[in-house]
Amino acid sequence: GGGGGGSAEVGKATITGMDVCIRKPLVVTCGLDRSVRVWNYIEKTTELKKTFAEEAFSVAFHPSGLHVLVGFSDKLRLMNLLMDDIRPFKELPIKACRECQFSNGGQYFAAVNGNAIQAFNTYTCESIATMRGHNGKVRSLYWTQDDSGIISAGMDGAVYQWDLKENKREGEFV
């Protein structure tokens, strides 16, 4: 799953981001109608829907199914999923984030900020790494299995592998 990619039509609203929860039968979407929706794909029902004042560009589901990241035009927001609400918990100053992704264990998340990728601790929201090197917009993020690194793909045609601890590029495929 990923927060970005193309767009699909559902009714009249274009979906701009989607992600799947690892531990629950849930999918989260965001769209041009400024809504964030949580769907149960087994029961084919909408579990939660919240409309915001601004457009959401990307979404990511925490593996627990209890949190989502949403990239808005002005900020990246970490939000808690409650029984009947999606409530902002923390805001990060990343504008127009079109790709964000939680790590496999959920302890980290990464967000695209222009041509850079920023990684954060999920629970403290402290920055743990900033990775720069793409010459074009970063379109896709993928965490390595052990969460020690990230693979990124950019509009520049480059795919890079990043080491989080060393905060450096350790592989490239252009």
Instruction: Taking residues 8-33, report their average pLDDT.
Output: 86
Q: Are 102 and 109 in contact (CB under 8 A)?
A: yes
pTM score, two decimals?
0.88
Confidence bin at 1 (pLDDT 50/70/90) = very low
pLDDT tens-digit series, residues 98-111: 999 999 999 999 99
5/45 Cα distance (integer angstroms): 24
Q: Are 45 and 33 in contact (CB under 8 A)?
A: no
87/50 Cα distance (integer angstroms): 9
Q: Report the amino acid identity of residue 97.
A: C
Check residues 11 and 89 and name the one with the higher pLDDT.
89
127/57 Cα distance (integer angstroms): 21
Burial of residue 131 (CB within 10 Å: 0-12, 13-18, 19+) is buried
- Write down the pLDDT at residue 125: 94
Burial of residue 22 (CB within 10 Å: 0-12, 13-18, 19+) is middle
